[in-house]
Structures are given as structure tokens and as C-alpha cells.
A = this chain, B = another copy of it.
Amino acid sequence: MQRSGVLYRVHLLRQHRHQGLGPYHSRLYAAYHRGDGLRQLFGAVKNINWNANRSPNCEKMCYNNGYPILGTRLGPGSASAAGTAPALDGHSICNDWMVFMKIEVYASNTHVSKKDMDGKVVVAVDTLRAATTIITALHNGCAQIIPVEDVEKAMELAANMQLNNAVLGGERNAKKLPGFDFGNSPLEYVPEAIADKTLILSTTNGTATIARAADAKRLYIGALINATALVEELVRLGEDFTILCSGTHGKFSTDDILTAGCFIHLIRQRKVPLELDDLGRVAEDLYNRAKKGVPKALQGSAHFERLMSLGLAQDLDYCLTQDITDVIPVFRDGRIVLQ
């Protein structure tokens, strides 16, 4: 259950479209008095359509199978505020509290300041390819990953750590760097190459995203290959969070936005009431229309086409496959390790 988020007071209203207490309405009513609460009932109800009707006295309202449910947004809060919710001037049958999970999405790390991410739960996304590479390396036994923004600092650090089993990986503009052990292809990070090693990683956009969110309360690394595992962790955590996409050189990149949409879709499947920003809504919509063929949906998008033109079709196939692993990387004290 969502521990903290955006608190709503919700009411199942007495009046409903068909008048009289229908069987569905009665069932809701009975369940409420068994102590399930609307909060639980909502979890079992499909097609909650907030904003389908708007009234001047409330911010959100939905008709659920013809029965009006009214919600009033109270702002940030937690389920522990519960107690008995007040009735609505004799109009409501059931009154309860609900906590919505607020998800914010940013298309590029350059669209936020470090301070914006301070104290938040953040998922850093770079599907093509840094996040996928990080997840794969940890899946294949890598001990820890140290993300470094600057190439020269990465080389210095690797030189100093050489005795400690360190390897150097990364790219600039999708190309491997001279003097580096690995590029940014997740397929290079096989167990025999990476197990028990410390990976020092520097990439064009991905490591900048992690640096931007370094002061987050929790910082996860997400991509399509660990989508379900990550979403289950986020639902278990039950807090609002921010999806910080890497984008490409400060621009919106469809691969990352589709990944954000995938997370949102999977969370909604788990019946968590969501409050999304505009980009989150667009991301969910894009993913819902693309989910049967993500690679096809990305045809013509800039970063996908660039990697394709570099002959990286195998990388793309891998990066765009959902749920290859359950690994959840977290950033903590300057390094990325298994959750």
C-alpha cells in the first residue's frame, strides 16, 4: 500500500445514474461496512476515470459503472492520517481516504538541477544504453560500478585502482573510448569479463543523469530489461518518485520516454492510484500503443537510428527486451551496487 503521496478524501455518492441502490452499489456499500474501506475497493475497481466530470467543489470526480465517486485533493499526505473521513453533507454513503502515488517524468538530466532531485526517490533511465549496461554488469556478477562524468577522471581513477580489480568502460557519442577496456555495449559485459570486478563507467548522457540525482533519497537505475522487478520495488516502497530520463544531449529521446511509460503502465496494472504530470501521461500513452513492438515504435527516432547506423542492431534487440533480469541497481555513496 502507498505509504505517502497525494492524499484525497473520496466519497461514494448516494445519487447515481440509474437511481436506487443497484447490486454493484450495494456490494461496495457492504464491503465498506465490513471495514474494507473505499481505499481497498478502489484497488479492485477498473476504469477509474478521474476528471470525466468536473464539479466546482472538487478537483476530481469519476463515474464508476454509473456510480459517482467524488475525490477532493488535499495535497501531500500519508495513509496514517486516516481515521474516519467526514461524510459529504448527507450526499455520500462511503467516505474514505486514498493516497495517490505522484510520478514526475523529466526528459533529460539537463532539465533539472541537482537540488530539484534532493531528497526524492529517483529512477535514472538510460535505456540506450548506459542503464542497460549497468544492470547487465551487475547481473553478471560485477561487484560495483563507479559512474564518472569526466573521461580523464575515469582513467585516473582506473589507474589508481588497478590493483583492486578495476576495469574501465564507456563511450562518447556511442563510440568506445581509446584506452578503455569496454565500450557501452551491454553485450560486452559477460560474466567472464566482469564478475567480481569494479567497473568505472563514463558515458555521454547516462553518467550525467546519475550525477544530477546523486543527492536523491534513493536512486535506482532502470531500463526495460529490469522493468518489472524495479516496479515491484517501487510499489513495495510506496512513495512518490521521479523518473529522470537521460535523453540525448539535452533533448527528449523516445526510447527513454517509452521506458518511463512502461514503468507507469506496470504500476497502474498493480492497481496503484496514480497522479501523473503531463509528460508521464504522454509516456504512458506512447507505451500503451507501442508495447506490442517497442523496436518498431522507435524506428525513425534519432538515438535508435544512430545506433542502427553504427551496426548495433544486436544491442538494440537486447536493450529493448523487457524483463531479462530481476537486478535492481541502486546508487549509494558514489557507487552503484545491487539493491
Query: Which A residues lie at the B interface, using CB under 8 A?
Result: 50-51, 54, 56, 59, 105-108, 110-112, 250-254, 257, 277-279, 281-282, 286, 299-303, 305, 308-309, 311
Contacts and interface: CB of A to CB of B under 8 A. Distances in A.
Contacts of A303: 278
A229 to B, nearest CB: 27
A107 B282 contact: no
17 contacts: A50-B300, A51-B300, A54-B308, A59-B305, A107-B107, A108-B111, A110-B111, A111-B250, A252-B279, A254-B278, A257-B282, A278-B301, A278-B303, A281-B300, A281-B301, A282-B282, A282-B286
B107 A51 contact: no
Q: How many copies does the complex hold?
A: 2
B309 A59 contact: yes
Contact of A278 (B112, B250, B253, B281): B253
Contacts of A305: 51, 59
Contacts of A107: 107, 252, 279
A74 B309 CA distance: 15
A254 B281 CA distance: 9
Contacts of A299: 51
Contacts of A282: 252, 254, 257, 282, 286
